[in-house]
Amino acid sequence: MSLLDNRESFKKLDTEDVFGSIGSMDKQITHGWEQSESLELPKRFENAENVCVVGMGGSALGSDFISAAFGGSLSAPIYIVNDYIIPAWVGKNTLVILSSYSGNTEEVVAAAEEVLGKTDLVAVVTSGGKLGDWAEKNSIPAVVIDPKHNPSGQPRIGIGYGIVGQMVILAKAGLLSVTKEDVQSMALQMKRSHAEYGDAAEEDKNKAKQLAQNIKESLVVLMTAEHTTGAGHIFQNQLHETSKQLAANFKLPELNHHLLEGMSHPKAVIEKMVCVLVSSELYNKRNQKRIEVTKEVLEKQDICTEVFVPMGKTALEQAVDVVMFASYTTFYLAMLNNINPAEIPWVDYFKEQMK
């Protein structure tokens, strides 16, 4: 029996139940919707012309997902700020979403102190902490998450809550059309993904387990386009934090204008690299062609290449499937790397030193 087909062996390393969190992502989506759909935004939020999301790490992943998956229906651009400072361009018609899963993210809390001098279109997504207290003190509309379906407590694995919380704020501000049926569609696709990539599917029929085996001890280069680019960022983040393995994420068509020339040196790195291309029949026809030619170029350079085609009939369903595939793949890779998928010792050390 393959290690990845032995669920009991997971428990020795997965002491905080990351696997349980992944298996509950569909519940995170529906529970997050139930918690946040009653949010009321003052009428002034209808004046929003652009969106600035301030968040770090796993707390910002929802913004990338939404920006890509809903790119064709968003009526305002989303800018993601991973820093302490509110940009100078933020003004009275900018909707600022402060996102911190814990509510204690240093950069986001610092930005909160500055933002009220620039706009009164401010909303919060958090589970509490300092940011939750700040929102309550200043009467800021907030989606306060009760993350009961994320037993691991890790923001990157509680991504369902982060996505839905920000979706609801954007919808209530009139910038995004999202229905309960959309949320149900996302949850249903996640259930299909569980069946395909979860522990019930053995390795010989499980693409997530197979990819984990194929990328072990490799530098992973992700290549995504259009509606899957936000999910690609989530994939990269989870490879770093869950699998403790180095990864990069590049977008088509931009990568075709420079990256392919960078695949020649250093040889020692290229030999240990696996490129994972996410393809889709929903991409622009030219981007579909670019996936084919990119694969051809990589193979001519003797670079190991994998192609993943997500399930789903819509861009939203496919983006959700990539998230699920990424979550399971990186968990299985953590098992192969013989590490606890929840622990982030170097990030924790760094934060402690910053105190």
Share of the chain above pLDDT 70, in %: 100
Q: pLDDT grade, residue 171 (50/70/90)?
A: very high
Asked if residue 331 and residue 220 are part of one domain, the reply reads: yes
Which CATH number does the domain housing residue 64 bear? 3.40.50.10490
Position with higher pLDDT, 73 vs 155:
155
Residue at 186 is within a domain = no
Asked if residue 56 and residue 152 are part of one domain, the reply reads: yes
- Per the structure, how many domains does the chain have? 2
Residue at 192 is within a domain = no
Residue at 353 is within a domain = no
Q: pLDDT grade, residue 352 (50/70/90)?
A: very high
HEC secondary structure over the chain: CCHHHCHHHHHHHCCCCHHHHHHCHHHHHHHHHHHHCCCCCCHHHHHCCEEEEECCHHHHHHHHHHHHHCCCCCCCCEEEECCCCCCCCCCCCEEEEEEECCCCCHHHHHHHHHHCCCCCCEEEEECCHHHHHHHHHCCCCEEECCCCCCCCCCHHHCHHHHHHHHHHHHHHCCCCCCCHHHHHHHHHHHHHHHHHHCCCCCHHHCHHHHHHHHHCCCEEEEEEEHHHHHHHHHHHHHHHHCCCCCEEEEEECHHHHCHHHHHCCCHHHHCCEEEEEECCCCCCHHHHHHHHHHHHHHHHCCCEEEEECCCCCCHHHHHHHHHHHHHHHHHHHHHHCCCCCCCCHHHHHHHHHHC
Residue at 267 is within a domain = yes
Asked if residue 92 and residue 222 are part of one domain, the reply reads: no
Q: Write out the residue range of the structural domain in which residue 93 sits.
A: 17-178
Asked if residue 152 and residue 34 are part of one domain, the reply reads: yes
Asked if residue 152 and residue 39 are part of one domain, the reply reads: yes
Asked if residue 270 and residue 162 are part of one domain, the reply reads: no
Map tokens 């401010």 to a residue.
Answer: 122
Whole-angstrom distance, CA of residue 148 vs CA of residue 153:
9
Q: Which two tokens stand for residue 316?
A: 């939203």
Average pLDDT over residues 39-43: 94
From 145, 178, 211, the end of a domain falls on: 178
Asked if residue 166 and residue 249 are part of one domain, the reply reads: no
Query: Tens digits of per-residue pLDDT, 255-279?
Result: 999 999 999 999 999 999 999 999 9
Asked if residue 276 and residue 174 are part of one domain, the reply reads: no
Residue at 193 is within a domain = no
Asked if residue 216 and residue 167 are part of one domain, the reply reads: no
Strands 273-278 and 304-308: parallel
Asked if residue 124 and residue 252 are part of one domain, the reply reads: no
Spatial neighbors of 84 by CB under 8 A, at least 6 apart, are: 106, 107, 110, 111
Mean pLDDT of the chain: 95
Asked if residue 169 and residue 21 are part of one domain, the reply reads: yes
Q: pLDDT grade, residue 355 (50/70/90)?
A: confident
pLDDT of residue 72: 78
Asked if residue 207 and residue 330 are part of one domain, the reply reads: yes
Taking 70 as the threshold, does the pLDDT of residue 148 lie above it? Answer: yes
Query: Tens digits of per-residue pLDDT, 297-345?
Result: 999 999 999 999 999 999 999 999 999 999 999 999 999 999 999 999 9
pLDDT of residue 3: 87
CA dihedral of residues 222, 227, 235, 37 (deg, nearest 10): 170
Q: pLDDT grade, residue 1 (50/70/90)?
A: low
Amino acid at 208: A
Residue at 346 is within a domain = no
Average pLDDT over residues 73-97: 93
Residue at 123 is within a domain = yes
Residue at 189 is within a domain = no
C-alpha distances in Å from residue 87, one per residue of 47, 51, 80, 142, 262: 19, 12, 10, 22, 32
Average pLDDT over residues 19-41: 94
Taking 90 as the threshold, does the pLDDT of residue 57 lie above it? Answer: no
